Amino acid sequence: MAAAVKSFHFIVSDGAKVPQDASTRTLIRKQAMKDIGISRRKRAARVPKAKADEPTPIIAEGPIELPAVVDIDLIDPQLYDLDDAVFSAESTAPASTASDESWQLSVVSSRSSSSPSSDEDEQFCSLIATINPSTEYQKLRTKYSFDLMDLSFLTSFNISQVAVWTMQQQPELLETLLGHRICSYLHYVPQRYGQGKRFFDATVDCVLAKASSRMRPDEAGPAMAATRLYAKALREVQTAVSDKKQCDDADLLCAVQLLSCYEIMDSKDLSAFSNHISGSAQLVRNRSATGFKSEYERLLFLGHVGAAYSEAFFQNRASHLAQPEWMQLYDLLSEESTWLTDTHPLMIRVRKIMIYFPGILAEIDTAFDDTDGCSASYKLFEIELRLRSIHQDTKNALEAYKVHVLRTSMMRPPQCEMHKRREAFGSIMEGLCVCKRMIAAMCDSDRLQLEHEVQSIAQLILDLRDSQQDASHSWVFTNVEYGMAQLVIDTREAWLEDASTLSPVEKRAASKRRWLAFKRGMTPHAPLAGWD
């Protein structure tokens, strides 16, 4: 009897496990689809056929969501860190909601980066999508056949007025941004939708409706519905902003940032986009840097940084993000990782340098406009010292970039890493161009040497355009780099002119003339006050 007991083994299961063997998984999927096909044929056989003289009734069915197959190489590595614990900690929805969303995320992140999507994977995803939606967001997603996470790239650092203006000229470019998923506050929207906040739900409704209408441009109905929902969202958000009790609500900040995503997809009015960015900046300042504590709130701040920097640049003023408390908060978002992400220390380091530029640009204008020669000289000298420090920081960032590339040289980088490397390198080169030109504008004795260096960097950037095949969505940052490089080359003669025979007053006037021409060239489409 004892021997019999010892030979008996209990079977313990922790739930369904995915077979490791690829052929086994393929067989399971094919069998699942075969069973569904058999059941459908049986149901069809039981339905009586319509007689020849009777019209066949048309049954209206709800839209079935067919999720797009996600390429793992286009997914930000930070998405892998958003596990069940993160979702459930922030969610106020039932437990089933958080577990369902995190399960979907784990399905995506568990795929091997070296295994391309197969037809069986597409069929399997379609099979899962036919399950009846159980949450309010799932119902909304099914209604519009669109997932909000496919808009996550619209919350990235590089989406700015330049990107919106470019999409005004080429509306088809929006499609290149959809589906490139990055770590974003949009991950938390599904759990917070349907919790009774009218301004939040109305905003999510209008954004998804707009995305759906952009996928069906030939149909007038979806576009009209999106416009109607947008008007409703504006009313609800305005009501919430007027309520002092709701001004510190993170969901209100999220709603305002979502409205800017709507304007990006609409791409009709730059002023509307700027208004939402300004409103978002006001809500951020009201919360103060110490008010961003949870992961959801910090991702909201991360989504605000790029747009706020761009807005300050085009408004010719210093960014509030350049203040020490906001820089410290930005540093807190830094997270070490093998591959580059938006919160990688190198990317944050490069972008912190860029955030200082709008304020310095405005200060140079003020110094050149100062009629007091002594005061103007002192201001320019003070700015020059700060710029030389920033210039050294930029060169140090370039060395850090080289170290990162060397450290990972023995590993196979995913495609998203290559995109981030291109973005980081281009931002550093662009920063060096602007920084050297600013120093040359204030220090005429170093102008010729600095200009030769600037010309070399500009030519390097343009050579990258001709020698490398950029990703479809990389235009959001490469367009700015190429435009800057071309501007540098086009203005070469003015910055290399001989001023040895000019008096100090004439040299200063020539420097101001060169500087203003260069500055206007950086924003040719933005009619801003104070740039003349």
pLDDT of residue 122: 42
The token pair that represents 518 in the structure block: 């260069």
Domain extent at residue 71: 66-93+130-316
Cα torsion through 382, 386, 389, 393, rounded to 10: -170
User: Residue 14 falls within a domain, yes or no?
Assistant: no
Check whether residue 287 and residue 415 sit in a common domain.
no
Any residues with CB less than 8 A from the CB of 226 and at least 6 apart, and which?
206, 209, 210, 212, 213
Is there a domain that residue 279 lies in? yes
| Per-residue exposure over 509-532, b if at least 16 CB sit within 10 Å of its own CB, e if not | ebbbebbbebbeebbeebeeeeee
Q: Are 105 and 79 in contact (CB under 8 A)?
A: yes
Phi-psi region of 318 (alpha: psi -120 to 50; beta: other; left: phi over 0): beta
Q: Write the DSSP assignment of 470-527 as a string of letters.
A: --TTTHHHHHHHHHHHHHHHHTHHHHT---TTS-HHHHHHHHHHHHHHHHHHH-TT--
Q: In which residue ranges of the chain is pLDDT below 70?
A: 1-20, 23-25, 27-28, 30-32, 34-39, 41-133, 524-532
Is 352 found in the same domain as 284?
A: no
Report helix, strand or coil for 122: helix
294 and 344 part of one domain: no
pLDDT in tens, 404-426: 999 999 999 999 899 999 999 99
Does residue 161 sit in the same domain as residue 243? yes
- The answer to whether residues 277 and 377 belong to one domain is no
Note whether 202 and 234 are same-domain residues: yes
Dihedral sign from CA coordinates of 520, 523, 525, 526: negative
Is residue 236, in this structure, part of any structural domain at all?
yes
Looking at residue 469, its pLDDT comes to: 73
Query: What are the residue ranges of helices labelled H in 220-344?
Result: 220-242, 250-266, 270-287, 295-314, 324-332
pLDDT of residue 231: 96
> Is residue 452 situated within a structural domain?
yes
pLDDT of amino acid 78: 57
C-beta of residue 140 within 8 angstroms of C-beta of residue 193:
yes
Q: CB of 437 within 8 A of CB of 519?
A: no
Q: Which of 285, 316, 347 is the last residue of a domain?
A: 316
Q: Which of 289, 316, 343 is the last residue before a domain boundary?
A: 316
Q: 152 with 285, same domain?
A: yes
Closest CA to 140 of 211, 82, 197, 224: 211
Indicate if 463 and 367 belong to the same structural domain: yes
Same domain, 289 and 342: no
- The CA distance from 458 to 291, in Å, is 41
3-state secondary structure of 248: coil
Neighbouring CB atoms inside 10 A of 183's CB total 25
pLDDT at 377: 82
Residue 300 lies in a domain: yes
Residue 202: CA count within 13 A, CB half-sphere? 19
Could you tell me the sign of the dihedral formed by the alpha carbons of 340, 344, 345, 347, in that order? Answer: positive
Among candidate residues 288, 316, 344, the one where a domain is terminated:
316
Q: Is residue 53 part of a domain?
A: no
User: Which amino acid would we find at residue 452?
Assistant: H
Distance CA 462, CA 26 (A): 47
pLDDT of residue 17: 57
- The confidence score (pLDDT) of residue 466 equals 80
Same domain, 283 and 228: yes
User: Using N-to-C axis directions, what is the helix angle for 504-522 and 475-490, rounded to 10°?
Assistant: 150
State residue 446's pLDDT score: 95
Same domain, 311 and 362: no
Biggest distance spanned by C-alpha atoms of the chain: 111
> What's the total number of domains in the chain?
2
Query: What separation, in Å, do the N-terminal and C-terminal C-alpha atoms of the chain show?
Result: 99
Q: What is the pTM of this model?
A: 0.75
Residue 45 within any structural domain of the chain: no
Q: 498 lies in a domain?
A: yes
Shared-domain flag, residues 203 and 340: no
